[in-house]
Structure 1
Amino acid sequence: MKFNWGTGIILAFVGFISFIMYFIITMSVDKKYDHDLVTEDYYGQELEFQNDINKENNAKNLAQNITYDISTEGLIIKFPSDLDYTKVTGTVFLYRPSNKQFDFETPISLSNYNLLIPDKRLLDGRWNIKVDWKYNEKSYLYKKEIVY
């Protein structure tokens, strides 16, 4: 067989296509490259985006917003002390960007101005915290990225 320009171009195309196919198959099959979506219901949450903006603006207009502390017991979420904590309702959602299996949501039930997320529920690393809460029928939202 005679090797000329046409044969070289065909071999280059076959080699390139083989490399791309190997790369695609490896990325789609190997669990090491498995990446989770931020949320399964992306479009449904997109429709709620303006409500979230309004809730965040409500929280910014408070005299004192939610704060947090990291202690040996866990993550302590501190609600504003000028509010009656018995009227605070809502949920706390902790999202782990690296692995959705560790995401969890907990209802807000306060016996004082602090809510404790136990240390055993939190792994070291980055967490996104979202506190969606109500006080006197007015909704508030607190979002923060923390490193535990």
Structure 2
Amino acid sequence: MKLNWGTGIVIAIIGFVAFILYFVITMSTDKKFNHDLVTEKYYQKELEYQDNIEASRNAKSLENNIKITQSKEGLTVNFPEDFEYHKITGKVFLYRPSNKQLDFELPLSLSNTYLLVPEKRLLGGRWNITVKWSYEGKDYLYKEELTY
């Protein structure tokens, strides 16, 4: 049986479509490929976005913003010293882009002008830290990427 060029093109297109369908179905159903969103409450976070922009502006307008330093004990989150630390409320969220199970959140209950994140909670690698805090009714937001 002799094939002409039109039949060859049709067979090639059908083969290509079959390959793409196989690839899509395999990637969608295989358990070893993880397709999680960055956050579970994606749409709720989107609604809070304008509040985060305003809180970031408030933090950038401070003379002394938060400073994060690394030590043998862990990460030290230093708050501005001109604020009364017992009036600061909020939370610190550490996000590990490579592993969702390592993410954690700490509430702010300060007994000094700094918060220590223990070294045993942090593995070496890249972390995104978000400090969302308020002082006397004004919200502040500080974000930083760091390598521990």
TM-score, length-scaled by structure 1: 0.91
Alignment of 1:49-88 (within 5 A): 49-88=49-88
Cα RMSD after superposing both structures: 1.5
Give the unaligned 5+ runs of structure 1: none
Cα deviation for residue 144 of structure 1 reads 0.9
Query: In structure 2, the residue corresponding to 1:128 is in which secondary structure?
Result: strand
Between the two proteins, what is the percent identity of the paired residues? 62
Q: Measure the CA separation in 2 of the matches of 1:68 and 1:31.
A: 38
Cα deviation for residue 143 of structure 1 reads 0.8
Cα deviation for residue 94 of structure 1 reads 1.0
Cα deviation for residue 31 of structure 1 reads 4.3
The answer to whether 1:113 aligns with 2:99 is no
Q: Measure the CA separation in 2 of the matches of 1:23 and 1:124.
A: 35
Q: Measure the CA separation in 1 of the matches of 2:2 and 2:107.
A: 75
Give the unaligned 5+ runs of structure 2: none
Q: What is the aligned partner in structure 2 of residue 39 from structure 1?
A: 39
Q: Measure the CA separation in 1 of the matches of 2:128 and 2:35.
A: 17
Give the total of aligned pairs: 148
Q: What is the aligned partner in structure 2 of residue 7 from structure 1?
A: 7
Q: For each residue in 1:104-146, what CA deviation from the matched residue of structure 2 results, as whole angstroms up to 9, or x when unmatched?
A: 1110111111111111211221111111111112111111111
Say which is worse superposed, 81-90 or 25-34, in terms of deviation. 25-34
Say which is worse superposed, 105-114 or 35-44, in terms of deviation. 35-44
Query: In structure 1, the residue corresponding to 2:131 is in which secondary structure?
Result: strand
Query: In structure 2, the residue corresponding to 1:38 is in which secondary structure?
Result: coil
Say which is worse superposed, 137-146 or 29-38, in terms of deviation. 29-38
Q: What is the aligned partner in structure 2 of residue 142 from structure 1?
A: 142
Q: What is the aligned partner in structure 2 of residue 123 from structure 1?
A: 123
Q: Measure the CA separation in 1 of the matches of 2:130 and 2:108.
A: 12
Cα deviation for residue 96 of structure 1 reads 1.4
TM-score, length-scaled by structure 2: 0.91
Amino acid at match of 1:49: Y
Q: Do the aligned residues in 2 keep the contact of 1:74 with 1:117 (CA within 8 Å)?
A: yes
The answer to whether 1:97 aligns with 2:97 is yes
Q: Do the aligned residues in 2 keep the contact of 1:94 with 1:103 (CA within 8 Å)?
A: yes
Cα deviation for residue 70 of structure 1 reads 1.2
Q: What is the aligned partner in structure 1 of residue 26 from structure 2?
A: 26
